[in-house]
């Protein structure tokens, strides 16, 4: 029996890492991609089939997909678009270049891969395209403007694809994790230090009295409702193995709560709640 195959991005740690190992154990042919060759080498030493795919590098997307198709004989059952990062800062201090950078990785790269894989899935008559979104694709929160924007865009494009691919045998699915125990915050700090010139900001005093503490807080105390990456993998397994997958999978209670509040409350009331977070 031919193994089912899946291409997963962002497998160096966290959600992608857990998903790659769990699905490999379940008998899937897993293509566990990472942005750097160093991380790929580490995953290979752990028994995974790993090679480069960097959303910011269009050639690497094409090469990675062709590598998958060569190894499967031209088919691919599922794609899990997982890789993403944040640039935490007030919107007024996020440059155009910073926005370009985050959209390349969190949005444009996802749909470059999707656009290339759809003809493969149309030809074989089936496929699962799973995009990892966020609670911040459902509700905006302060100091996450760049990340909010990419995830809202991801939600809109995925919903559109779901409508356009009806009847094709290709299911387009969103996973909404919420707070998950990963290196996401540590990686966000690196992006903040690269892109945000807070010392010359017109709201420098706000950084000093509030934002630096909030943005750079790495502490050991978990966020409210935080779960391990295995909770996301459980939803992914249903999304790619169920005969009738859901359009959306919520993972943590803050995500369920955000979805409920945005449907029940007027905008001013939502601002009062999310404006304190």
Instruction: Give the separation between CA 151 and CA 103, rounded to whole angstroms.
Output: 9
- Which residue's structure tokens are 């540590």? 186
Torsion angle of the four alpha carbons 256, 184, 216, 55, in this order, in degrees rounded to the nearest 10: -120
For residue 49, give the 3-state DSSP assignment: strand
Q: Which of 17, 147, 207, 249 does the annotation list as catalytic?
A: 147
Reference 235, options 118, 127, 80; nearest CA is 80
- Asked about 147 being catalytic, the answer comes back as yes
Exposed / middle / buried, residue 150 (Cβ in 10 Å: 0-12, 13-18, 19+): buried
Q: For residue 47, give Cα distances in angstroms to 26, 65, 83.
A: 14, 20, 21
> Which residues are designated catalytic?
147
């Amino acid at each position: 029996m031919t193994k089912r195959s899946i291409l997963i991005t962002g497998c160096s740690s966290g959600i992608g890492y857990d998903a790659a190992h769990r699905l490999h154990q379940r008998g899937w042919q897993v293509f566990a991609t990472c942005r750097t060759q160093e991380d790929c080498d580490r995953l290979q030493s752990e028994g995974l089939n790993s090679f480069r795919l960097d959303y910011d590098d269009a050639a690497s997307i094409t090469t990675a997909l062709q590598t998958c198709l060569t190894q499967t004989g031209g088919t691919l059952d599922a794609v899990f678009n997982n890789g993403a990062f944040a640039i935490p800062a007030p919107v007024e201090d996020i440059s155009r270049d910073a926005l370009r950078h985050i959209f390349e990785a969190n949005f444009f790269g996802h749909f470059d891969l999707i656009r290339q894989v759809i003809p493969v899935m149309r030809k074989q008559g089936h496929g699962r395209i799973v995009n990892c979104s966020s609670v911040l694709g459902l509700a905006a929160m302060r100091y996450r403007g760049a990340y909010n924007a990419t995830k809202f865009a991801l939600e809109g494009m995925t919903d559109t694809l779901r409508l356009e691919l009806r009847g094709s045998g290709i299911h387009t699915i969103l996973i909404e994790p919420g707070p998950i125990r990963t290196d996401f915050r540590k990686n966000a700090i690196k992006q903040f230090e690269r892109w945000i010139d807070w010392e010359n900001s017109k709201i420098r005093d706000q950084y000093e009295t509030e934002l630096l503490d909030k943005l750079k807080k790495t502490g050991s105390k978990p966020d409210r409702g935080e779960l391990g990456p295995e909770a996301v993998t459980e939803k992914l397994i249903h999304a790619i193995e169920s005969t009738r997958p859901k359009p959306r999978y919520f993972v943590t209670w803050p995500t369920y709560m955000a979805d409920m509040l945005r449907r029940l409350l007027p905008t001013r009331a939502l601002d009062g709640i999310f404006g304190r977070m």
